[in-house]
Amino acid sequence: MRDEIRFVLNGRIQRVAGCAGDITLLQWLREQAHLRGTKEGCAEGDCGACTVTMARPNGDGRLDYRPVNACILFLGMIDGAAIRTVEGLADPDGNLHPVQTAMIKADASQCGFCTPGFIMSFYAAWQNGNGLAPDDIDNTLAGNLCRCTGYRPIVAAAATLDCARNSDIGNSDMAHDGAMLEALKNMPDSAADLCLGDPPCRFLAPVTRISFAEAYAENSEAIIVGGATDVGLWVTKQHRKLGCMIWTGGVAGFEQIDDDGDMLRINPAVTHQQLLQKIADDAPEIAELLRRFGALQVRSSGTVCGNIANASPIGDLPPVLIAIGSKIELSTGNKSRRFDLENFFLDYAKQDRRAGEFVSAVLMPRGPHPYLRCYKISKRFDQDISAVMLAANIRVRDGVIDHVRLAFGGMAGIPKRAGTAEARLVGKPLDVEHFRDAAAALPDDFTPLSDMRGSAEYRMLSAQNLLIKYGLELVSGKTMRLAGDGLTTGLEGWE
């Protein structure tokens, strides 16, 4: 067992021992490494002021640079990675990086406080060779909030950047980070399990599936950590003292999506951004939902399995995964069981998960899903959790609907199908009137709650309207969405 974490920071190898199990990367950077360019704004993954990049090999000989929120990332989660902060962008002669120069030339450093975060989001895009084309800039910046002046100069700065994948500067940073990561791998014990901190608060990072299962069996009360986009906030916002944590991200193979042609096996450490890239072509409806999941920083850390295991009634992925008939796999030791995901959610905060079991995979049918549509209602378009979510999927044979799945989030204590409304559609032709009829039945399926995201009445009316909209979209073959530049109804001539 190794008790020293090793990573590359701004091009130099760092070895850190004796740190607390629950220390965040931001705390360590600011308080111990005295790198105070990275700021703390919200401390909950929302504002992007703490954005740094985390690079790991992506399997095709290059490094994948993820923008991540350092405020909710536990230090143990950067083991074996290359981190860059705003202090690490200028070259050794002090010449600024092109993304820094672009911000200065466009007068885009307004308050200054959020600027390092914006620069690091640009840097991640620059290094990965995508995200700075005119249509991509909003997406790249959705996780970096400007509350003082506005985005115009910042977007203008991004628009001047030539995100050339083969730029000399990008390649030189990547070559250097890559060489340092190789050097880390060659250090003694580099393939050993990691344990940071002393009891009661320890951060365990097993490296094999067997040692993960053993660690969980020995510490059955432990908190499993995926991307920490929920668990991190327990520490930074709720000030909870956590006990033992076991991280999925260090386990070899847990970061993979296995594809057998029919089914995708999504292992415990697969992030939302990985899934989005995998399914972008086959399942654009799901990809667009994922694109609105938090923002890039959240999607680059948060995991699909974490979104299911966190037992939230408003998680975005359970409804869509249920609508396409996904399964869940739970494991303990070397035993596993699989069943329909919809049966995993029993009651508010109660799941069909036995002591010692963890979510070892989600099994998702591959696309295309021609009748699947996902509708997310939230207060902001990006970087927000839903108030109501509908994932609807039907099958039509010989002009008749013969199979229906209407899965809602935010309408009950769990993600749940609308059985009565579904029954109103089965055996009917594809006609908007039947969708209106099904919408009228939703009060028989749900008694939603009022909370800060929406009142019970608002939720019910939204759910009914979404179901009618689903019918209109299918019947018309057109799309009614708020997207990109504004309102696209595509429904001219429709009542």
Ligand X SMILES: Cc1cc2nc3c(=O)[nH]c(=O)nc-3n(C[C@H](O)[C@H](O)[C@H](O)COP(=O)(O)OP(=O)(O)OC[C@H]3O[C@@H](n4cnc5c(N)ncnc54)[C@H](O)[C@@H]3O)c2cc1C
How many angstroms separate the CA atoms of 373 and 297, rounded?
25
Alpha helices by DSSP H, 222-295: 231-236, 272-279, 284-291
48 binding ligand X? (CB under 6 A) = no
For 375, the enclosing helix (H) or strand (E) is: strand 373-377
Query: Taking the complex as a whole, how short is the minimal distance between the CB of residue 27 and ligand FES, in angstroms?
Result: 11
Could you say which of ligand FES, ligand X, none residue 358 binds, taking C-beta under 5 to 8 angstroms by partner kind? ligand X
How many angstroms separate the CA atoms of 100 and 116, rounded?
9
Instruction: Figure out which of the listed residues 161, 204, 225, 323 binds ligand X, where binding follows CB under 6 A.
Output: 225
> With CB under 6 A as the contact rule, which of the stretches 35-43, 119-127, 310-318, 321-329 interacts with ligand FES?
35-43
Instruction: Figure out which of the listed residues 104, 111, 252, 482 binds ligand FES, where binding follows CB under 6 A.
Output: 111
Task: Give residue number: closest CB to ligand X.
Answer: 306
CB 367 within 8 A of CB 360: no
CB 197 within 8 A of CB 22: yes
Query: Taking the complex as a whole, how short is the minimal distance between the CB of residue 268 and ligand X, in angstroms?
Result: 4
How many angstroms separate the CA atoms of 122 and 116, rounded?
10
Structure tokens belonging to residue 111:
């308050």
255 binding ligand X? (CB under 6 A) = no
310 binding ligand X? (CB under 6 A) = yes
Instruction: Figure out which of the listed residues 21, 116, 206, 306 binds ligand X, where binding follows CB under 6 A.
Output: 306
> With CB under 6 A as the contact rule, which of the stretches 78-86, 108-116, 264-272, 350-358 interacts with ligand FES?
108-116
Query: Taking the complex as a whole, how short is the minimal distance between the CB of residue 283 and ligand X, in angstroms?
Result: 17
| Residue number with CB closer to ligand X (276 or 305) | 305
Torsion of the alpha carbons at 469, 473, 478 and 480, rounded to the nearest 10:
20
110 binding ligand FES? (CB under 6 A) = yes
- 168-188 core/surface letters (b: 16 or more CB in 10 A; e: else): ebbeebbeebbebbeebeeee
CB 220 within 8 A of CB 356: yes
Instruction: Figure out which of the listed residues 8, 9, 29, 47 binds ligand FES, where binding follows CB under 6 A.
Output: 47
Among 193, 262, 271, smallest CA distance to 229 is for: 271
46 binding ligand FES? (CB under 6 A) = yes
415 binding ligand X? (CB under 6 A) = no
152 binding ligand FES? (CB under 6 A) = no
How many angstroms separate the CA atoms of 85 and 108, rounded?
19
| Residue number with CB closer to ligand X (184 or 298) | 298
Instruction: Figure out which of the listed residues 5, 29, 48, 75 binds ligand FES, where binding follows CB under 6 A.
Output: 48
Could you say which of ligand FES, ligand X, none residue 294 binds, taking C-beta under 5 to 8 angstroms by partner kind? ligand X
How many angstroms separate the CA atoms of 441 and 421, rounded?
5
**270 CB-near residues (< 8 Å, 6+ apart):** 254, 255, 256, 257, 303, 304, 305
Which of positions 329-368 make contact with ligand X (CB under 6 A)? 358-359
Q: Name the site residues for ligand X (rule: CB under 6 A).
A: 44-46, 223-231, 248, 268, 293-294, 298, 301-303, 305-307, 309-310, 315-316, 358-359, 383, 385
